Amino acid sequence: MSGDLFRQPGHDGGLFLVKPDGTPRSITKGKQLSAVIADRIDLHRFHNEKQKPSRISAGTLDEMLHTEAFLSRFAPVDRISSQPEYLPGFTLTNSGYNDGGVGHRVFFVGESPEESDSMERIDTFLDVMDFHTQADRANAVAGLLTVLLRHHWPGAKPIILATASKSHSGKDTVLDFIAGMTPKTSVSWEPADWATQKAIIASLNTDPSLGMIRLENARVSGRSKIASAFVERFVTDPSPMLFSPGGRAEPRRIRNEIVMSMSTNFGVLSEDLLNRGLPIHLKPKGSITDRHSDIGNPRHEYLPRYREEIAAEAYGMIARWRAVGKPLDKSKYHPCTGWAHVIGGILMVNGIEGFLDNYADRRVADDPIRSSIAVLGAHLLDKCLPISDVVAEVGRLGLIDPLIPKNERSSYEAQKRGLGKVLSAHVDEKFVIPSEDEEDQRVEFRLEKLRKRFENGKATYRYGFFMVDETESEVDDGPDNGSDDDSDGIVISQDHPKIV
């Protein structure tokens, strides 16, 4: 009846009390509950003057705090938040209790945020960062929106991959921009997967309010690629089990509302990470030491000074998207389909172009096998050759190491077999390479494997690299996995950027 007691989030039971200043206080012990009862009930009213008021024992109260019959009388809370959150329907939390359904029952300790009509602070920051392409810039804003909407799409959000052509290019600065005011932590990359797992789980156990985890300075150590089975599994698991190797804490499941990110200069990312990634690449020109920013130090001065204004501008972007009916951009391809359609729609409504346009490019550039196939295809465009001729070209171009497995190099026949396996695994994939004729233009082609009768009349397999028609687009007409039920499903066409 008091309206200030709620069921504690998590698995340990208990309640929490909202104090007059709006901050929460946990009620997990019998003595704490006894004080709450004494504050609310005048025990003397139920006894005569000669009888001493009776109290419930602390042991009984302890038991009550772990009893469903008692706890079910209080409104459940999934989390207590000091930062605004987006409920289903993409509406912001109000101060106090917000019942958005399972996973979105939030007690918000704070004031309703402002929504700005401007993009000035965001654009000013982006203008001084050395993004490789417009797509990298757009993806940085997409990362900012993803963190704000992190409670949507559990287990269906990408890992943010910040890469650069040299050290001190601003990767961590961009990740700070993306995190905004959301609680975050940094974890040093460990070559041993179990060590990375232990560090991540320790961070989550220490601070349950974390919204973003950053794996810093990932690099290859004794392996050909940067890979982590735990990170790959965590990113795609809607309710991961937190179990630390060698730890004493009991395993527990959480709703996956964490945005994982990684920064690296040195090393090649594994195919699984690239497939699950939101790529952001920085490519500064000239000497890093000669750079001068008109906004001061972007990371240590600009972002702290304007963090609230940047958040207000991001809230405004989502508000404008809601105002026009929450259109989805289904022209964008990514394994995290629902996420891509929503984020793409928000960016299109706000006039930001290039989202995910570099997804295929980075998978080629950051994968040694794909990048080697791209080089090979550039030299064999519009040719259809038997595997023997392709092996000869691979040797001429110096691509044997990435394209022919080591255990398939002992003989010419083994090389043909090994290369055939690698190429067959990438048949019908698209590859993108820079054009030699025009700067900032790209050549896109597809690897095909054909079996038919050629000059000698004998049916054989041949491999061809054929240009992709410029009008061909990757529009995903599949199910909108992970999108919210209340979306009206308006679609934005890539070829004609208007609501259709």
Q: Give the relative orientation of helices 120-128 and 303-323 as an angle to the nearest 10 degrees.
A: 120
Structural domains of the chain sorted by starting position, each given as residue range(s) with its CATH number in brackets: 1-76 (no CATH), 120-321+336-355 (3.40.50.300), 367-467 (no CATH)
Dihedral of CA 276/280/286/288: which sign? Answer: negative
What DSSP element (H or E) covers 451? strand 442-453
pTM for this entry? 0.72
Q: What is the pLDDT of residue 248?
A: 64
Q: Which contacts qualify for 62-68: CB closer than 8 Å, 24 or more apart? A: 62/29, 62/30, 63/30, 64/30, 64/33, 65/13, 65/14, 65/15, 65/27, 65/28, 65/29, 65/30, 65/33, 66/13, 66/14
State the chain's maximal CA–CA distance in angstroms.
115
Picking from 328, 348, 317, 351, the residue whose alpha carbon sits closest to that of residue 478 is 328
Burial code of 196-216, b = ≥16 C-beta within 10 A, e = fewer? Answer: bbbbbbbbbeeeeebbbbbbb
Q: From CA 272, how far away is CA 337, in angstroms rounded?
A: 16
Q: Which contacts qualify for 386-390: CB closer than 8 Å, 24 or more apart? A: 386/460, 386/461, 386/462, 386/463, 387/416, 387/419, 387/420, 387/423, 387/461, 387/462, 387/463, 388/416, 390/419, 390/423, 390/463
The pLDDT tens digits for 284-325 are 876 666 667 788 889 899 999 999 999 999 999 999 999 999
Q: Which amino acid is at 92?
A: L
C-alpha separations of 400 from 27, 121, 409, 425, 465 in Å: 65, 49, 9, 17, 18
Q: What is the pLDDT of residue 347?
A: 96
Chain centroid to CA 183: how far? 15
Q: From CA 412, how far away is CA 118, in angstroms rounded?
A: 63
SS3 461: strand
Token reading at 76:
């459940």
- End-to-end Cα, the chain, rounded Å: 51
Token reading at 380:
């064999």
Token reading at 267:
């090393």
Residues 6+ away with beta carbon under 8 Å from 389 = none
- pLDDT tens per residue across all 500 residues of the chain: 778 899 887 656 688 888 877 778 888 888 889 888 888 887 666 656 666 666 788 889 989 888 888 888 998 888 888 889 999 989 999 888 888 888 888 888 878 888 999 999 999 999 999 998 899 999 999 999 999 999 999 999 999 999 887 777 888 999 999 999 999 998 888 878 888 888 888 888 888 788 999 988 776 655 567 778 888 889 999 988 887 666 666 778 888 999 999 888 765 777 778 888 899 999 887 666 666 778 888 989 999 999 999 999 999 999 999 999 999 998 888 889 999 999 999 999 999 999 988 876 655 555 667 778 888 888 888 888 888 888 888 888 888 877 888 888 888 888 888 888 888 888 888 777 665 555 455 678 888 888 777 666 677 888 888 887 543 434 343 434 444 444 444 333 333 333 32
What DSSP element (H or E) covers 186? strand 184-188
SS3 99: strand
Do the beta carbons of residue 278 and residue 355 sit within 8 Å? no
Q: From CA 24, how far away is CA 167, in angstroms rounded?
A: 43
SS3 367: coil
Picking from 194, 183, 189, the residue whose alpha carbon sits closest to that of residue 171 is 189
